[in-house]
Amino acid sequence: MPEKKIVLYMHAGSGNHGCEAIVNSLCHMLREKPFLITNSEREDKRYSLAPAGGTALCDLAQERHFSQHKAAHVMYYGWRRLTGDAESFLRYRYRAVFDKPFCRRDGGRTAGKYPLAVSIGGDNYCYDMMVKDLMLANRAFHDRGVKTVLLGCSIEPELLLGKAGAAAQETDAAQETARRKMAEDMNLYDLIIARESITYDALKKVVPEEKLRLVPDPAFTLGTKELPLPEGFAAGNTVGMNVSPMIRDNETKAGITMAGYRALVEHIIRTTDMQIALIPHVVWDRNDDRKPLKELYDEFRTSKRVVLVGDASCEELKGYIARCRMFIGARTHATIAAYSSLVPTLVVGYSVKAKGIARDLFGNYENYVLPVQQLREKEDLIGAFEWLRDYEGEIRRDLQRVMPEYKERALQAGKEVERLWEG
């Protein structure tokens, strides 16, 4: 490892092409190749970050996995239970970095180094299962004299501020403790870059403004690679669709999401001459967009109006999305690919990130975001699509107007990271 190095961590792997897009975009902004701690080196080598026979955008270090180090995992689990040393397992997972001079106890400062660790997980703080690891990593790097950055984050305001109004009376001691710990963790970062204003406004109430920046998601600057279009994909007259198992997990009426998508596909086939392209953006076994998309494809394949796009890198998927006429997406970075390609987009969202990004682009998120929690009837998605269709031209003009400056602002993420790294 070079003496001066930026380390990127909390990368889940490029099988989530949103994660891939964040790292890819940031690497193109930085003058020096960073060091990436990854949950899946195999995935990163398969796609754009370190392709076989191509130019690697970053150096890779594989986290240690249970499947490969069963005995060590059991040992560290026992040690944690015995000693209460919660950080021990994280030190083990990140050994590829913590054993290097980068993470000496003095942080290398006496040798003129400026170590920097960048958490690139985006909205990881929105998932309960991730919060503890995020906090442990932030503390572990700081204990070794390493500055930390939280990049491109979206955080539900109530996690930072607690519940508002009548709901505040229901807040129990455990929730208040969690909120306090969250605020303490946020203040430990040397820099937080929020990707949308709802998160930024909430953070301002718990973190000094000098530590905060409002900068669009780095993936707005992602490059585009155009592969040949599959048969049935009509460039400029195709509605792109993305469905995520996660939105099904967040629906309040069982089965309503897929019922809505089925009704919408049927509606587009019946009332328009547009084709439909089903485009996956996450292809993990445990969370695979291709499964709900294949359900839709199988139901409508005989119509000859529906195309199932195969897996590809984040840049190649953006190439497909960029050639759509409109886009309806559940994955945040699939919709970012659409927005940044000037494609009118409806987000079927479940969290603050969709609302915040739409608000920053258009001034409000009403009609641009359909929260999955609000789906009640299968026709709800048809109504949202028809609004998008009615205002298609106006939305495209709005994107043409705001996107150049928005992308320019997104480049500030790399400048802020390098500014802190250079001291």
Give me the amino acid identity at 59. D
- The answer to which of 2-6, 125-129, 415-419 has the lowest mean pLDDT is 2-6
The confidence score (pLDDT) of residue 111 equals: 44
Tell me: pLDDT of 77 over 70.
Answer: no
CA neighbor of 35 nearest in space, from 110, 120, 106, 139: 120
The confidence score (pLDDT) of residue 112 equals: 41
Over residues 21-41, the mean pLDDT reads 95
Q: What is the CATH number of domain 6-221+408-421?
A: 3.40.50.2000
Give me the amino acid identity at 10. M
CA–CA separation, 25 and 278 (whole Å)? 24
Over residues 7-27, the mean pLDDT reads 96
What are the residue boundaries of the structural domains of the chain, listed by start?
Answer: 6-221+408-421, 238-390
CA–CA separation, 241 and 363 (whole Å)? 24
Mean pLDDT of the chain: 89
Give me the amino acid identity at 291. K
Same fold, 6-221+408-421 and 238-390: yes
The confidence score (pLDDT) of residue 251 equals: 82
- pTM for the predicted model, two decimal places: 0.93
The confidence score (pLDDT) of residue 88 equals: 74
Per-residue pLDDT tens over the stretch 79-135: 666 766 777 777 778 887 877 656 654 544 444 445 899 999 877 887 777 888 899
E strands present in 136-257: 147-153, 191-194, 212-214, 238-241
Per-residue pLDDT tens over the stretch 225-271: 999 999 999 999 999 999 998 887 778 888 899 999 999 999 999 99
Q: How many residues does the chain have?
A: 423
The confidence score (pLDDT) of residue 394 equals: 98
Per-residue pLDDT tens over the stretch 271-323: 999 999 999 999 999 899 999 999 999 999 999 999 999 999 999 999 999 99
Per-residue pLDDT tens over the stretch 141-186: 988 888 999 999 999 998 898 876 445 555 678 888 889 999 999 9
Architecture of the domain defined by 238-390: 3-Layer(aba) Sandwich (3.40)
Tell me the Ramachandran region of residue 304: left when phi exceeds 0, alpha when psi lies from -120 to 50, beta otherwise: left
First vs last Cα of the chain: how many Å apart? Answer: 19
Calculate what percentage of the chain has a pLDDT beyond 90. 70
Contacts of 397 (CB under 8 A, 6+ apart): none
Per-residue pLDDT tens over the stretch 401-410: 999 999 999 9
Give me the amino acid identity at 257. T
CA–CA separation, 255 and 76 (whole Å)? 41
3-state secondary structure (DSSP) of residue 121: coil
Helix axes 332-340, 352-362, angle to 10 degrees: 10
